[in-house]
Structure 1
């Protein structure tokens, strides 16, 4: 059983080393919540052995010590309680720009002071500032409260690169995997040059970008758990800290390795649920993209290709022959598209403007992208995967372009100046474009307009097709949610189009929760922080509607969805939990119970 941190015994002796360090006879720094060794090797840091002879008094002291999870909860509680309720309320108000898309259908931000007052007026109760604050702080950066990354970055002992042969083996594994098509941040051919620079010039100042590139790649495969023996115990955070420490030099060098570093780091933080850090790395990547001309579409017919790539001797080259991952221009373009997809999704999730403006970028898709995208999604095994295989990129690039248009047309400052008719016209235009995209997807993997309790699911459902469907339902919801601003401006005027948008948005939210329930078996455990965003936003939207219309005929069904939220959150696969993540999930679990509780109170109050 895990015990508390090192403690003094009655005889004056002290358990200076944790259990792991004691067994290995190494020095332990006794840091809380994990010592340096345990943190770097992803081990539970426990102090369960006894020092000296046991006696009743010492047993009483030991039994009074909390276990490791309780110890972590105490740390979090202490940090959360550093501010009183007034300070927490002030924090929520300042945090509001990051939660602009979490609004009621009347346009009132749920986490603002006005939103909390509105909830209380409709239910007779409220979410306490502590509950809101603990969730708000962790939602866009769930690890900041407990991640001792500063300790890792200030560690005087540098993080050493593993043997080059080990990195080369990981690179080969990554480049032959399906995930490399989704996140094409590595070119095996070009990466070999990076390794030469990183290992042959280890102490060279000019090799900083190359070493940062290697560290970021190691962090990525650590979090994606490419387990072939050694990667199972990789210390992701030490690699993250090492790569981050070199970012100033990366920005100064302006190289392809530097761009690969920051895009890869953005992906790492995205998987860790740290959207704040993701946005920062995306902003750095944007400047590098423009400096390296990666925002321009390469001429696939004239750019030089690797000698191993060859065109057909009969007629024009095919799309797979036009694309060559070993070509630097094509690789930089892959980094651009990866950055673009994450940037646009981040924009929709946080409500903040994107970094890569469409106006300044050539958005010509890779050769035959639509055909290759559908083919890859339908086939979990890609035959002949190599340098000439056109990637999929995160989600779907056509949907990413629609996300960009949606933010500009509905949620940008200019969009808030639109008249009611202009806003509804923008919604109709986007809805039409979205339907054209949906119909372009093969029927077997095409998202249904809605997903009900009896909607059949394809036997070939995959992680990628599930992510696209979740993204589709969320996109439908946010597009039609914007119509709520029409009622805010003219509450006395009932517009049939506005009500129709309300219903479409709510149906999309219900579809999100229902579909996720049946697709849990294909969700990989490293995507927890990415996936959980979808049910959270859907549940908050249903909660908002229930508070607004507690006597609506759909209320009973929506209340059941809200009540099922805690179970759904617990069922989403997640990689091996650290003590800190267990604690965060307790906060999330407590928060997930609030909408159902308040929804029931709203119904009771409306019924009198």
Structure 2
């Protein structure tokens, strides 16, 4: 335009004309340290102009090339591939990556569980069907207990109010509320105690219960949670005083979800979710947690938006929901509702959640963020697109973050340090100490198994370290079972899922390493686990048929003993071979008569196992690839590790078919 006005030829260039600036050496001003001088400001302006002069214009090829480069560097999610080409096949977490199909499985972030293929493989190795029979017997017991054999859609958990009102005296209500704030509240500190007690124990309580459905649900759930600590809880749904109180809240659930969301609605639902984490009503625990997260987003609590008078209560409630939702999603291998990139809610102080200098509330918030990041980069569907190098980098990053988190915990509570009862004078501090260790070991198990999937059978220091970490984590989990309080109020993840996963891991190590020096210790710990599961069944008065799991220890020990006896017999036979021919046949007949009556395959000799199992961690076998283990959430949606205690148990005879006509184990 300027060229036209000046009536001169135009010369187009991708560079802009630089404007010469004349700066006076004396151009200085007295300014504050936080404000740049005029000379400095002019210098910055010149720098920006020079940079703009070097930048390509929007129409230039250089700009287009840089734009394409920038776009190519942006990471793609799997959904992007689906939308680019509608013929792209669907993908589950347990399928191989594009880079390394059928080998580099992206395992679930949950805990170990046996697949049908794994059961068949171990059964063949053992030489008998006791493992399968044990699992099938357990499934039958659970089906019978849950009344699923007649109508699999029947459920003991209902959402109707009790036929008759629950009568609780003021003294009992005060006792239950006090028990709640002393035992449950320090672990889930989302309520303002003074505010709640003024409403729950004040003169206007009855009128408030009539006027506010949400407060009524919150009130009755708090009573139910506290009642569990006063011998009012049971392991069975529909039984006990605590369940009757909880049933009142369940009957109000639909009325809480429909109206306009408010803090008390969110608090009512999260309290109901906390109760549902025990063994009596696991079917609805995840649903309630997800609903609480949904309401938190609708209210804007994630963005520190709070229309309530008690802002600290809003922040507390949000972070309790965040912790529960993130840990639930990681354990079940599901994407989180709460997006971490859209959270600006500050973490408030919670003095009641601090134990001898250990800030449980803040520590668990950090842990929840850690596992959220690990799930996204290692266990999500889009993680299947990562190269091996990227996956290793993500594993190392998660491990480093986990170690920094561990070191931030006081030594007496710190995972990886010796557990000393003298540091925990009361029940609640000991429970917190065990829980924080279980959370830590669950991530060690997930990261170790992920590494073993990638490494396959390649001998490497990383693979050896992962096997050692996996075995050590399982051992620690079982060692800590002696400190678990097997009461009805305990979360099933705490008293069931973690010990069960550790049992399966050590069972695998024993069966595949019968002659290894570590096997004796693992057999002893399997015995400890067997004792724990018997104790759990006794505490539940038979409601949890967990003593059936103790047979794993017997199967493993019998397998090793039979192999040792078989090895001794074959050693004697070799000695006989050097004797005179006349007596050889008679002696060998005697040896055969002393052969153990075992169904163990004689082709797999203990002496051969000893030869391939020298006493080192590197030699430990853990068949993670050619006989994959399935994981919680990695199986079809209708099967979860909590099936052992409350949900429908899938028939183990059902094959799992994948594309290509092959039956593939799950990661």
Q: Name the SS for the 2:416 alignment partner.
A: coil
Match of 1:223 among 215, 225, 228: 228
1:212 maps to 2:217: yes
Considering only aligned residues, what root-mean-square deviation do their CA atoms show, in Å? 4.0
Structure 1, 161-170 or 266-275: larger mean CA deviation: 161-170
Counterpart position of 2:253: 247
Note if contact 1:473-1:512 (Cα within 8 Å) is conserved in structure 2: yes
Question: 1:159·1:239 contact (CA, 8 Å) conserved in 2?
Answer: no
Assess if the C-alpha contact under 8 Å between 2:312 and 2:348 holds in 1: no
Who is 2:618 aligned against?
Answer: none
1:157 partner SS: coil
- Tell me by how many angstroms 1:154 deviates: 5.7
Asked if 2 retains the 8 angstrom alpha-carbon contact of 1:445 and 1:465, the reply is: yes
1:283 Cα deviation from its structure 2 partner: 1.2
Give CA deviations for 1:582-604 in whole Å, capped at 9, x if unaligned.
Answer: 3344x311123225404643783
Deviations 1:252-290 (A, max 9, x none): 122222211111111111133644321010111111111
Aligned residue pairs, count:
444
Identify which of 311, 314, 318 aligns with 1:332: 314
Contact 1:543 1:596 in 2 (8 A): no
The answer to whether the Cα contact below 8 Å between 2:523 and 2:556 also exists between their aligned partners in 1 is: no
Q: Give me the TM-score of the superposition, normalised by structure 1.
A: 0.63
Quick one: distance in 2 between partners of 1:219 and 1:158? 17
Shift of 1:366: 2.8
Match of 2:285 among 269, 278, 292: 278
1:117 matched to which residue of 2?
Answer: 120
Number of the residue aligned with 1:420: 388
Relative to 1, partners in 2 of residues 1:168 and 1:401: Cα closer, same or farther, differing over 3 Å?
Answer: same
Q: How does 1:66-77 map to 2 (within 5 A)?
A: none
Structure 1 position 223, deviation (Å): 1.9
The aligned residue for residue 588 of structure 1 is 546
8 Å Cα contact 1:116/1:126 also seen in 2 = no
Q: Tell me how far apart the structure 2 counterparts of residues 404 and 538 of structure 1 sit (CA, whole Å).
A: 23
Kindly indicate whether residue 530 of structure 2 is the aligned counterpart of residue 566 of structure 1: yes
**Aligned residue in 2 for 1:230:** none
Q: CA contact under 8 A between 1:138 and 1:145: conserved in structure 2?
A: no
The structure-2 alpha-carbon separation of the partners of 1:528 and 1:141, relative to structure 1 and needing over 3 Å to count, comes to: farther
Aligned-partner Cα distance in 1 for 2:344–2:129: 48
**What's 1:496 paired with?**
461
User: 2:420 maps to what in 1?
Assistant: 457
1:429 match: 397
Residues 439, 142 of structure 1: alpha-carbon distance in 2 compared, 3 angstrom cutoff: farther
User: Residues 152 and 274 of structure 1: is their aligned pair in 2 closer, same or farther, counting only changes over 3 Å?
Assistant: closer
Looking at structure 2, the residues matched to 393 and 139 of structure 1 have their Cα atoms a distance apart, in angstroms, of 35
* DSSP 3-state at the match of 1:583: coil
Match of 1:158 among 164, 169, 172: 164
Aligned to 1:607: 605
Unaligned runs of 5+ in 1: 1-92, 104-109, 228-232, 305-326, 381-390, 450-454
Mapped partners of 2:502, 2:272: distance in 1: 28
Tell me the distance in 2 between the aligned counterparts of 1:356 and 1:198. Answer: 34
Q: Is the 8 A contact 1:140 1:274 kept in 2?
A: no
> Aligned partners of 1:441, 1:142: CA distance in 2, in Å?
41
Seen in structure 2, the aligned counterparts of structure 1 residues 154 and 173 have a Cα distance that, compared at 3 Å, is closer
The aligned runs of 1:5-154 (5 Å cut-off) are 101-103=110-112, 110-126=113-129, 131-132=134-135, 135=138, 150=156
Matching residue within 518, 537, 543 for 1:554:
518
Contact 1:159–1:238 under 8 Å retained in 2: no
Q: In structure 2, what is the equivalent of residue 47 of structure 1?
A: none
2:481 to 488, 491, 516: 516
Note the residue ranges of structure 2 that are not aligned, 5 or more in a row: 1-93, 95-105, 233-238, 425-429, 564-600, 607-667
Paired residue secondary structure (2:502): helix
Aligned to 1:267: 274
1:346 corresponds to: 328
> Is contact 2:448–2:466 with CA below 8 Å preserved after alignment?
yes
Task: Work out whether residues 159 and 247 of structure 2, in 8 Å CA contact, stay in contact via their aligned partners in 1.
Answer: yes
Q: Which residue of 2 aligns with 1:385?
A: none
Distance 1:137 1:280 in 2: 26
**CA separation of 1:277 and 1:196: change in aligned 2, threshold 3 A:** farther
CA distance in 2, matches of 1:515, 1:189: 36
Whether the 8 Å CA contact 1:198–1:211 is kept in 2: the answer is no
Could you tell me whether the CA contact under 8 Å between 1:474 and 1:512 is conserved in 2? Answer: no
Give the one of 505, 520, 525 matched to 1:541: 505
1:446 pairs with 2:414: yes
Question: Which residue in 1 is equivalent to 2:355?
Answer: 377
Cα distance, 1:417–1:543 mapped onto 2, change above 3 Å: farther
**Compared with structure 1, are the counterparts of its residues 328 and 441 closer, same or farther at alpha carbon in structure 2 (3 Å cutoff)?**
same
Q: 1:214/1:591 Cα in 2 relative to 1: closer, same or farther (>3 Å)? A: same
- TM-score between the two structures when normalised by the length of structure 2: 0.58
C-alpha offsets along residues 18-56 of structure 1, whole Å, 9 cap, x if unaligned? xxxxxxxxxxxxxxxxxxxxxxxxxxxxxxxxxxxxxxx
Q: Matches of 2:136 and 2:290 in 1, distance apart?
A: 27
Q: Residue 118 of structure 1: CA displacement?
A: 2.0
Q: Give the structure, 1 or 2, with the largest relative contact order (CA under 8 Å, sep 6 or more).
A: 2
- Give the equivalent residue in structure 2 for 1:468: 436
Contact 1:152 1:237 (C-alpha < 8 Å) held by counterparts? no
Deviations 1:399-422 (A, max 9, x none): 222222232233222223333322
Q: Quote the residue 1:45 is aligned against.
A: none
Query: How big is each residue's C-alpha offset from its partner over 1:524-561, in whole Å with a ceiling of 9 and x where there is no partner?
Result: 77327323332211111122233344443322221221
The 8 Å contact of residues 296 and 361 in structure 1, kept in 2 or not, is answered as yes
Counterpart CA distance in 2 for 1:484 and 1:599 is 26
Contact 1:283 1:355 in 2 (8 A): yes
Partner Cα distance (2:172, 2:158) in 1: 23
Instruction: Tell me, in whole angstroms, the C-alpha distance in 2 between the residues paired with 1:258 and 1:140.
Output: 35
Pair 1:538–1:378, CA change in 2 (3 A): same
State the match for 2:650 in structure 1: none
* TM-aligned CA distance change 1:223 to 1:169, over 3 Å: closer
1:505 pairs, out of 453, 459, 470, with: 470
Q: Which residue of structure 2 aligns with residue 358 of structure 1? A: 340
**Deviates most, 465-474 or 427-436:** 465-474
Structure 2: distance between partners of 1:500 and 1:471: 20
